[in-house]
Amino acid sequence: MRKLKFSNFLEEYVKSMSKGKTLSLFKLEKEVSENERLLTLVSLLLLFSDQKRNTLKNHKDSLKKLYASYSEVSRKYGENVNKSGKVFLDNLNEFDDLYKTFHSYQNRLEDRDSRMKEIYHEKIMRLKDSKNVSNYKIYTALKFNTGNTNDFLKNKRLEKLSLVKTKSIYNFLQNI
């Protein structure tokens, strides 16, 4: 599973907030007058989408609300967003729209990883039991931390191992 990019997260978020479930700037132009949060999200999306930004600039006369809002957001964040990424975001206050949106994105990634680790944990336990493999064999073969690996396997403490390590255990067990 590929990692969800912030720009893709913004696209999904805009679609979910839009009445028409659309990313069409022309349709969104009509909706944003009733929905201030949607206007903010579309403006942020435009910061991270060259294609949409080009469409906006080519049709700024018919997309006046979006263009005005994007211009304001662009002045506020400027080039810093794309160049310095998270470092810049960490310097924003917690009430800033970009900060809140990026924080939602991070939470979504963490939730997604947790769900994936839970699925892998179940598969690992089934394989481990069916192949009669001990925890010792797993963490010595993979050279993982003993305590964290045991806590993950025995107590289902998902936060003890990364998704990458969880997948490594699964792949190891499949190939024995």
Q: For the segment 109-162, what is each residue's pLDDT rounded down to a tens digit?
A: 888 888 899 999 999 999 999 999 999 999 999 999 999 999 999 999 999 999
Please indicate, yes or no, whether residues 126 and 74 belong to a single structural domain of this protein.
no
- Write out the two tokens for 167: 């997948």
Is 125 within the bounds of a domain? yes
Q: What is the pLDDT of residue 110?
A: 80
Place of tokens 């067990």: 173
Tens digits of residue pLDDT in 2-31: 677 888 999 999 999 999 999 999 999 999
Within 8 A by CB and 6+ apart from 25, the residues are: 42, 52, 55, 56, 59, 63, 66
What confidence tier does 91 reach under pLDDT thresholds 50, 70, 90?
Answer: confident
Alpha-carbon 158 to chain mean position: 19
Please indicate, yes or no, whether residues 128 and 55 belong to a single structural domain of this protein.
no
Is 122 within the bounds of a domain? yes
Asked whether the beta carbons of 39 and 65 are under 8 A apart, the reply is yes
- Taking the C-alpha atoms of residue 120 and residue 142, their distance in angstroms, rounded to an integer, is 16
Q: What is the pLDDT of residue 108?
A: 86
Please indicate, yes or no, whether residues 48 and 120 belong to a single structural domain of this protein.
no
Based on the structure, what is the number of domains in the chain? 2
Is 150 within the bounds of a domain? yes
Please indicate, yes or no, whether residues 26 and 84 belong to a single structural domain of this protein.
yes
Please indicate, yes or no, whether residues 117 and 85 belong to a single structural domain of this protein.
no
Instruction: State which residues form the domain around 118.
Output: 113-174
Please indicate, yes or no, whether residues 36 and 67 belong to a single structural domain of this protein.
yes
The pTM of the whole model exceeds 0.75: no
Taking residues 80-103, report their average pLDDT: 75
